[in-house]
Structure 1
């Protein structure tokens, strides 16, 4: 009887610690979300690494994105993508082509505007390791998809403990693919051109670009 009581006490104690860990992680993520939402605009320069040792895949590139509300403009893998609030414009200079699409209805698509807020829904979370990165304290939170059919095994979200800005995102897929996004610079409330999120179709037509409408 004493063994059963001891096991029950340990089990309840473990559940209590797990709940506290989850609540602590949620509080930190709420701080990050509120900080992001307090800015008029955000500019992020980042490094992107895709690795799958078994498949022999190792890609690395740099990118940048400027966000204001739901609008964004980003440069990634040699292309520019612009969202003006209603349509998405993908500009590929190498092909001299512009693709124009209505806003995606795919709620699972990780758009630049979701990069800093995707963790809000669909995950269980817990506090993970605390790392010292060049004098900065980076607190990682482990996100596990609630959907058991998800192709994602888990995501580690590295958060600067002082600024509450996202520093790193490490996504591990069930197929062994690891995607890492590391933020090099994170600027806020920058002076932006009034036409930054406006697509000038005439300019690209004059430059000989082929316009595709989907």
Structure 2
């Protein structure tokens, strides 16, 4: 289930390739978000991700960090497990330098290496704040307060009806003009709630952030699938 949470986060940008059925007010709001995001070289965000499936009696919450350079498609997603002595413990990571992608599971002390999928169907969290740009129709449904923030609410649905995710509800921070929260619904009855806790733009991120160093993980098994 933890893998499901992680891969749902990073698969949001892969639901298609074209705009359609645009609501003009929704488009204006989303264009503001896009234009602001494009001015950033790198972003760093801490988030909370919750999975809920009432029918299966599942409710899980995890925290994580995303560092991304959207212009070069570089990213690092870190998911944390149960804290030890009050400190976060890394449970898993997905890292990409734009060419190769590493998926590291601490519990198994294993990392899988793949080439980055450039077909447009691959996983790319570097585009997490512009997920709406490809493959969605969208509708502005009004303003709503969420955790004290006034948000503009936009409903997204994929153009491809065969996708497992059938609806995404975006909450756009009206003052900051950026995505604050996303609620994702899939056909298996799962609801995924992704909420930004902190956001840093133009973060100072060294390039080695986007590569996996086996030497820093003694005994790690490297499974190279390239």
TM-score relative to the length of structure 2: 0.78
User: What is aligned with 1:195?
Assistant: 208
Instruction: Report the aligned-residue RMSD.
Output: 1.9
Conserved 8 A contact 1:110-1:118? no
Gaps of 5+ in 1: 1-18
Runs of 4+ in 1 over 4 A off after TM superposition: none
Conserved 8 A contact 1:45-1:185? yes
1:129 paired with 2:130, answer no
| CA deviation vs aligned residue, 1:75-94 (integer Å, no higher than 9, x gap) | 12510111011100112222
Q: Give the whole-Å Cα distance in 2 for the aligned partners of 1:208 and 1:175.
A: 37
Choose 1 or 2 for highest CA Rg.
1
Gaps of 5+ in 2: 1-20, 81-90
Q: Give the whole-Å Cα distance in 1 for the aligned partners of 2:118 and 2:111.
A: 20
Conserved 8 A contact 2:68-2:126? yes
Q: Give the whole-Å Cα distance in 2 for the aligned partners of 1:200 and 1:193.
A: 14
The secondary structure found in structure 2 opposite 1:190 is coil
Q: Give the whole-Å Cα distance in 2 for the aligned partners of 1:82 and 1:28.
A: 30
User: What is aligned with 1:87?
Assistant: 100
TM-score relative to the length of structure 1: 0.83
User: What is aligned with 2:58?
Assistant: 57
What pairs with 1:94-113 in structure 2 (closer than 5 Å)? 94-105=107-118, 107-113=120-126
| CA deviation vs aligned residue, 1:1-21 (integer Å, no higher than 9, x gap) | xxxxxxxxxxxxxxxxxx8x8
Conserved 8 A contact 1:47-1:183? yes
Of 206, 209, 212 in structure 1, the residue corresponding to residue 220 of structure 2 is 209
The secondary structure found in structure 1 opposite 2:23 is helix
